[in-house]
Structure 1
Amino acid sequence: MSEFEHGYPFDPAYGRTLDELLDIPAPAPPDGFDAYWQGRFAAAAGVATAPAVGPQEDERDGCRIFGVSYTSVGGLRIGGWLVLPAEGPAEHGFVIGHGYGGRQEPGAEVPLPLPRSAAILPCVRGMGSRSRRPGIPGEAEKHVLYGIESRETYVIGDCVADLWCAASALLELVPELRTGAETESGTGGDAGARLGYAGESFGGGLGALALPWDGRFACGQLTVPTFGNHPLRVTLPCVGSGEAVRAYHEEHPEVMDVLAYFDAATAAGRIEVPMMVAPALFDPAVPPPGQFAVYNALPDRRELRVLRAGHFEYEGESADVAALAEARREFFAARLG
C-alpha cells in the first residue's frame, strides 16, 4: 500500500517494495549500441559551438546569470543561461539538465551545487523558453514522440547531443575549466576533470544516456531519471510523456527496436564515473521501477538516495528536497572540490 492518498486510476508505487525495486535489471543492449552512441558523441564533439553570451540578467546566491546560446548538432542554436561566480574564477563547472516541463528561467538550480562554480543551464531543442523551434513540439507528450520512427531521427538523441555541446560551450567560455577535463570519448572521465552533471526527470534520463561517452564529466547526479527499462515502462500506466510512449507502443509495437537505443538503464551500465541517483518509491509520471533500473545498472562508485515521492506534492516535501540538495552538495564537493 502506498503511504500517499491520490486520485490516480493506478498505483504510482506499482506494488513494489524497496527490495523488489533494487532487483530490477537493465535490458540487454541492442546490436551496435555502443558504436551508435560513440558515433553520436564524435559528431557532437566536432561541432563548433560558437557560444554567445547576452547581458547579465540577474545576480543572486553568489552567482551572476547571463543569457547564452550555442550551436548544437544539425546547426541548431540552443538557448539557456550561463551562470558564473559573482567574484573570482570558477573552480568547477556543471551542465544542468531540466525536466520535461522545460526550463522557463533559472530556478532552483541557482545556487549551483557548489559555490565558486560555472554552469550552463540549457533548454534542449524544442523545450523551455529559449529553444522553441518551428516543427519541434514543445509539449512533453508530443516532444517525446518526435522522430520516434527511427534511431536516426528520434529527438532524444539530439537532446543528448545538446548536453554534450553545452559542455563544449562551457569549456570555451570558461577556459580555466579545461585543465584535465578533455579526454577521448568513452573513457569515462579522469582525475583532473572538473565538470559535473546534474539532471532531474527528463534531464536525469538524458544524463544517463550522455555520461558514458563523454570523458569530460567527472561525476553526475540524477534525480527520478526517466527512460529506464523501456520494455518494463511500456507495461506501466502513468501520466505525461511516459504515458504518451506507452500509448504509442500499443499501436506501434515495433517502436521497441528504436527505444532500445535510448534506454537510460542500458546506458547507465556503461557509466564509469561516480554517480548519485535519487529514485522515488512513488511517482505517477516516471514509474519507480524504471528509475531504480537506472541506479541498479551502475557498475560501481554509486550512491543511492531514496525519495518518498517524485512528481507529487506531499507534506514534508520541502524538507526532503532540502536534504537531497545537501546530499548533492556533499557528493559533488567530494569529487569536484
Structure 2
Amino acid sequence: MSIPKRHPYDFDPTYGLGLKELRAIRPPPEVEGFDAFWQARYRKALARDPSPSLTRSATRHPRWTIHDLSYTSTDGFRIGGWLLVPQHGNVRRGLVVGHGYGGRDQPDLDLPVEDTAILFPCFRGLSRSSRAPISPDPAWHVLHDIDKPDRYIIGGCVEDVWVAVTVLNTLFPGTKGRVGYSGISLGGGIGALAIPHDDRIDRGHLVVPTFGNRPLWLTLPTIGSARAVQAYGRTHPEVQQTLRLFDAASAATRITVPLLCAVARFDPAVAPPCQFSVANALPIKDCNEIFILDAGHFDYPGQAAQSSALMAKVGNLFGTP
C-alpha cells in the first residue's frame, strides 16, 4: 500500500489513524425511532407508481442497448437517468447504480456483469434530475430542507433508489428479489441507508461511503459536503439530532445481505474514520468483504491496479445468481 504523502490540504486526510485504529472504529449510538422513520418512508416509496418512460439513446454500444429513462419518485419528483439492457442473453438480474456528488453525465458502460439490466438514476436535484429551487452545488444540495427531517433531500434520494428498484421489477419481472445496488461517495452513503430497509435488494457494493458516524462527520476537517453542514451546524446545533436519523453507519448495522465495501485510508472529501464506521458496522462478517483503498477522492500511484482488483470483485458479486 502507498498512502499519498504529498497533498495540497491544510489538514491530514488520514486524520492520524492507521489501519488498526480505523478497523477499531464502531458506529455511534443510534437515535430512537430510527427504524420507524425509515420504514414509513419505504412504505411511501413502495406505494409510488413510477410510470417509467424510455427513449432509445443515440449512443450505440456492442454490449448494451442504451435508453434515456425517467420515472416518478416520491413527492411526484421526476427522476432522469439511463437504462442499459444487454444486447445478448436474458435479463436475469437488475442493478441500480448511484453516483457521487459530482453527478453523472453518462452511464458506465464497462461494468463486468452479464444478463443484467442496469439503471443509473440521477438523484433528485442533480444532473438529469436537476430542478429549481434545489441547487446542484453539493454545498447547497446537502443542506436542502435539512431543518425538516421528513423533507430533507437525503431522505428523498434514498427513496429515489427504492423507486428505481420498483422500475426494474416492473420492466423486468424476472429481477424480483434479484436486484443489487452499487454506489460511490454520496451514492455509497445513500446505498447504506437504502439497502437494509428494502428486502428486494439482495446484495450491495459501497465505495468510500459518506454519512457514516455523523458525530465524527460533523467534526473532522474536509473538502466534502460535510464542510457545508459543519458550517451550518455552528449556528444550528439542532442539526446534530436530525442527522442521527441519516447515519449510514447506524443503517449498516441492519444490512443482512452480501456487501462489498471499499474504504480508503486517505480521503480529503469523506473522512476515512466515517467510511470505516460504515464498513465496521456490517453485522454478518462471513458474507461481507471490506476492500482497502490507499486513497479516495485523490489520484495516487497504484490506483489503476487497485481499481482493477476491485472491479473484478464487483463482477464476482453481481455476476452470481
Q: Superposed, which structure 2 residues align to 1:98-117 within 5 Å?
A: 98-106=99-107, 109-117=108-116
- CA shift, 1:331, in A, is 2.3
- CA shift, 1:59, in A, is 3.1
Does residue 7 (structure 1) correspond to residue 5 (structure 2)? The answer is no
SS of 1:104's equivalent in the other structure is coil
**Structure 1 match to 2:131:** 133
- CA shift, 1:197, in A, is 0.6
Does residue 148 (structure 1) correspond to residue 124 (structure 2)? The answer is no
Deviations 1:117-173 (A, max 9, x none): 101100010011x10111111111110010100211210000000010011011111
Distance 1:144 1:274 in 2: 29
- Contact 1:226 1:291 (8 Å CA) reproduced: yes
Please point out which of 289, 314, 317 is paired with 1:331.
317
**Structure 2 match to 1:165:** 163
Distance 2:15 2:250 in 1: 21
Does residue 222 (structure 1) correspond to residue 220 (structure 2)? The answer is no
- CA shift, 1:230, in A, is 0.6
Q: Superposed, which structure 2 residues align to 1:1-337 within 5 Å?
A: 3-60=4-61, 62-106=63-107, 109-128=108-127, 130-178=128-176, 181=177, 194-300=178-284, 301-333=287-319, 336-337=320-321
SS of 1:120's equivalent in the other structure is strand
- Contact 1:79 1:131 (8 Å CA) reproduced: yes
Distance 1:73 1:113 in 2: 31
- Contact 1:44 1:72 (8 Å CA) reproduced: yes
Residue 119 of structure 1 aligns with an amino acid whose one-letter code is I
- CA shift, 1:297, in A, is 0.6
Distance 1:318 1:211 in 2: 28
- CA shift, 1:315, in A, is 2.2
CA-based RMSD: 1.3
SS of 1:95's equivalent in the other structure is strand
SS of 1:60's equivalent in the other structure is coil
Distance 1:113 1:197 in 2: 14
Distance 2:50 2:298 in 1: 37
Residue 82 of structure 1 aligns with an amino acid whose one-letter code is L
Residue 305 of structure 1 aligns with an amino acid whose one-letter code is F
SS of 1:59's equivalent in the other structure is coil
- Contact 2:185 2:208 (8 Å CA) reproduced: yes
Q: Give the unaligned 5+ runs of structure 1.
A: 182-193
Distance 1:50 1:160 in 2: 18
- Contact 2:91 2:116 (8 Å CA) reproduced: yes
Aligned residues: 318
Distance 1:172 1:206 in 2: 22
- Contact 1:274 1:302 (8 Å CA) reproduced: yes
- CA shift, 1:60, in A, is 2.4
The worse-fitting range, judged by mean Cα deviation, of 86-95 and 293-302 is 86-95
- CA shift, 1:86, in A, is 1.0
Structure 1 length normalisation: TM-score?
0.92
Identity %: 47
- Contact 1:114 1:332 (8 Å CA) reproduced: yes
Distance 1:242 1:61 in 2: 40
- CA shift, 1:58, in A, is 2.4
